């Protein structure tokens, strides 16, 4: 919006005045007559008159502060724990699920409180934000599906950084269109490398092309690990330094 209007107050105003189209997943259409006339909004009773906007609303949907809200992390390995640490630092209450709960010693090392849930439905019920950071296997395939989505609180959000097929995309889209889901952030996709066309048009879906590790330092570290693996297999104890899942 800021790029389109090149004006900070205008950008906030346009986001505030449009009603939200659940089916399309974006604000209702408006026409900007910026060059030569005032804003011309579609005649729709759900659209408020243009006025100064603080930015707490996007097309009638409130923007929420993460502080005090709950995050559920499915998959609590090194990555899941680090995500929990960062979200706890900004005030979120961390819940997690994995095969076994942390030991007392692991909890001490963790450095922040985290509530364990054995059952997936219990984790989902406590997840205003659900983060998927687990591997894909027979037990996690479509772990987010039509039935499990019902356990999430209304207007929950989902972030998937694990594998695309953890989510039934069709069921996820239906939940967005019904308003049960507020938004989704995806780093992986069910039909990778193809991104489902409908996901690309929705404002309530944030897409990333799996580039979280794409930094110079990480490339250099990967090359170093490859060399160490080769050296250790040939001249060392025959065991690899790292393993690929």
3-state secondary structure of 220: helix
Handedness of CA 196, 200, 203, 206 (dihedral sign): positive
> Could you tell me which residues come within 8 angstroms of residue 188 by beta carbon, excluding any fewer than 6 positions away?
160, 161, 162, 163, 164, 166, 210
How far is the first Cα of the chain from the last one, in angstroms, to the nearest whole number?
A: 40
Is residue 192 part of the annotated active site? The answer reads: yes
Q: Which of 192, 208, 220, 223 is catalytic?
A: 192
Is residue 210 part of the annotated active site? The answer reads: yes
Q: Which of 34, 69, 180, 210 is catalytic?
A: 210
Quote the tokens at residue 237.
């104890």
Is residue 197 part of the annotated active site? The answer reads: no
CA count, 13 A, side-chain hemisphere, 209: 3
Q: Which of 163, 182, 190, 202 is catalytic?
A: 163
Annotated catalytic sites, by residue? Answer: 163, 192, 210
């Amino acid at each position: 919006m800021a790029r389109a209007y090149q004006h900070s107050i205008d950008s906030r105003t346009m986001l505030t005045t449009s009603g939200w189209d659940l089916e399309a997943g974006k604000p209702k259409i408006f026409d900007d007559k910026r060059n030569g006339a005032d804003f011309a909004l579609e005649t729709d009773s759900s659209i408020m008159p243009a006025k100064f906007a603080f930015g707490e609303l996007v097309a009638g949907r409130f923007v929420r502060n993460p502080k005090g809200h709950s995050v559920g992390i499915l998959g609590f390995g090194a990555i899941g724990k680090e995500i929990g640490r960062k979200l706890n630092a900004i005030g979120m209450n961390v819940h997690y699920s994995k095969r076994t709960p942390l030991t007392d010693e692991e909890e001490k090392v963790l450095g922040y409180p985290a509530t364990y849930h054995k059952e997936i439905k219990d984790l989902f019920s406590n997840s205003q934000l659900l983060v998927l950071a687990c591997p894909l296997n027979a037990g996690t395939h479509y772990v987010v599906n039509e039935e499990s989505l019902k356990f999430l609180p209304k207007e929950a959000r989902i972030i998937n950084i694990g594998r695309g097929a953890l989510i039934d995309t069709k069921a996820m889209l239906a939940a967005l269109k019904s308003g049960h889901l507020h938004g989704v952030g995806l780093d992986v996709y069910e039909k990778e490398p193809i991104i489902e066309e409908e996901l690309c048009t929705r404002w309530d879906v944030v897409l990333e092309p799996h580039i979280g590790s794409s930094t110079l330092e990480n490339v250099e570290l990967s090359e170093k690990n490859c060399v160490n693996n080769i050296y250790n297999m040939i001249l060392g104890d025959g065991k690899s330094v790292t393993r690929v899942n």
